[in-house]
Amino acid sequence: MFCGKCGTKNESGAKFCEKCGNKLEEEKTPKKENKKLKNVKEKVKGYPKKVKVAIGIGIILIIGAIIALVILLNNPVKKVEDYLTSYYDNYHEDYGNKELVKIGDILRSKLDDENTLDSISKQINKTINNWVKNFNKSYNSKKDLEKAYEKLKGILEEIDNYFNGLEYVLSFEDYYNYYTEISDLYESKTNYFYAQEENSDERKYHYYNQVIESDSYYDEARKFVNNYLKDELEELRDGASELTDLGEDATNEEMLNAYISKLNYLKDNKIANSIDLSTTKDYKSLYNETAKSIVDYTKKVAEELDANLETNNVMEVIENSMDALEYNSDEYKELEELKTTYEDKLPSKLTDEYVVSYDSGTSDASYGITIDDEDYDSYVSFRFDGETKAITYRLNNEFKTLKTTIVRGPNWDADFTGEFVIYGDDKELYRSGEITKTNELKAEISLDVTDVDDLRIEFVTESEPEGWSNFYIYLVEPYLYK
């Protein structure tokens, strides 16, 4: 070895330089670098800086993925999902419930962790929902359907029995809802297969019509049903349309009555060849359109009657339309609201007002009377006694219009004559002209009674019957409008 001070070569292993006495240090033999590692380092050294950064990030991501995988595999929610999936995939009638035991162990170990228990509960519901969705699919045969149904039903029963409705697994309410859903689907899908096996179109229709809307077979079943019913529905539609084909000159009241007849026709003919047409989309559409037309024309007729101060008749029109409609339907409720609106506009009966004075032979009533087979809800009557008869009502300046109708009583003597005269506070408002048994008269009376306090009605006559017979003339349905 060489001296570090004077450079003299000394023997190997010497501790001091033989020339200058300087202490010698032992030379270290350099380690041989791994050839492969050296090559890798050389290669990496030659890479651009961006590539070196990318390699570093890749290494970090791999390490992170490994750590995440370890965490995921130890995640209780993931474990429960895996156990449920394994339980479903491997289940058969005599299959053990070891997965359920493991789920129970996880739940017991997390009783103090409300968030984890809540997450487990959500995952269990999500998984069971997927089972039910998977059940609602097409099957190759009724046997395959029954096998899938028995499996899922058995799984739900075992989960419910094992955990006894434990809050975080499957509540009784959820169990009942799932069970009901798959039972309904099973029955629906069974009907689909019965239809497939039938040769009779009528029987096919019967089974296809029982396939429920939530069933994956529904569209196919409905297509057959609709095609089968097409001719029956076409005949029904033609018969109903004839009832409302009244032409352009038809009044609103005539159209209303026609649509009421059309709706009744649809009700009366909804069963054709033992088939209930009312379950079809086309029938429901036709029925709803007709019901809507009844509402529209009822409103039009009501407006016309109200404009002519016949609001009392509006109630009858609305009620007739409501009787035709399905109780509590949207259209029925709409007419109920309309009825309430017009109730505030209803006229008062003159016969309910205070009577100031009256002559013998005059009378009034706020209840019904029938004259010559016509019914009226109120009246004022005047008897033929050979002299004028009068009755006076106190209006208190509260009304604007009086409307009433003159009606001859039955069995008039041919010689009877008379005349109505109406006064408002001693001012003549109306005179009918002579009335006989046969002459034509303007029976409708409409008077302006604005600011009238006392209304006096006179029937002027000198006619008197022979014997004890009583003959009358009437003002029927005398209404006061504000």
pLDDT (tens digit per residue) in 98-113:
899 999 899 888 888 8
Q: What does the pLDDT look like over 267-320, one tens digit per residue?
A: 999 988 778 889 888 999 999 999 999 999 999 999 999 888 888 789 999 999
Q: What is the pLDDT of residue 461?
A: 94
Three-state secondary structure readout of the chain: CECCCCCCECCCCCCECCCCCCECCCCCCCCCCCHHHHHHHHHHHCCCHHHHHHHHHHHHHHHHHHHHHHHHHCCHHHHHHHHHHHHHHHCCCCCCCHHHHHHHHHHHHCCCCHHHHHHHHHHHHHHHHHHHHHHCCCCCCHHHHHHHHHHHHHHHHHHHHHHCCCCCCCCHHHHHHHHHHHHHHHHHHHHHHHHHHCCCHHHHHHHHCCCCCCCCCHHHHHHHHHHHHHHHHHHHHHHHHHHCCCCCCCCHHHHHHHHHHHHHHHHHCCEECCEEHHHCHHHHHHHHHHHHHHHHHHHHHHHHHHHCCCHHHHHHHHHHHHHHCCCCCHHHHHHHHHHHHHHCCCCEEHHHCEEEEECCCEEEECCCEEECCEEECCEEEEECCCCCEEEEEECCCCCCEEEEEEEECCCCCCCCCEEEEEEECCEEEEECCCECCCCCCCCEEEEECCCCCEEEEEEECCCCCCCCCCCEEEEEEEEEEC
What is the per-residue pLDDT for 429? Answer: 97
Confidence of residue 65 (pLDDT cuts 50, 70, 90): very low
Per-residue pLDDT at 72 exceeds 60:
no
Q: Which residue has the higher pLDDT, 297 or 61?
A: 297
**Residue 131: pLDDT over 50:** yes
Mean pLDDT of the chain: 87
* pLDDT over 50 (residue 348): yes
pLDDT of residue 50: 61
- Mean pLDDT of the region 93-99: 83
Q: Which residue has the higher pLDDT, 311 or 217?
A: 217
Q: Is the pLDDT of residue 176 over 70?
A: yes
pLDDT at 73: 43
Greater pLDDT, 230 or 164: 230
Which of 222-236, 419-433, 467-481 has the highest mean predicted lDDT (pLDDT)? 419-433
For residue 326, what pLDDT is reported?
95
Over 90: is that where the pLDDT of 433 sits?
A: yes
What pLDDT sits at residue 36? 54
pLDDT digits (tens, 9 = 90+) for 404-416: 999 998 877 778 8
What's the whole-model pTM score? 0.47
pLDDT-derived band of residue 70, with 50, 70 and 90 as boundaries?
A: very low
Q: What pLDDT shows up at residue 67? A: 41
User: What integer pLDDT is reported at residue 57 of this predicted model?
Assistant: 63
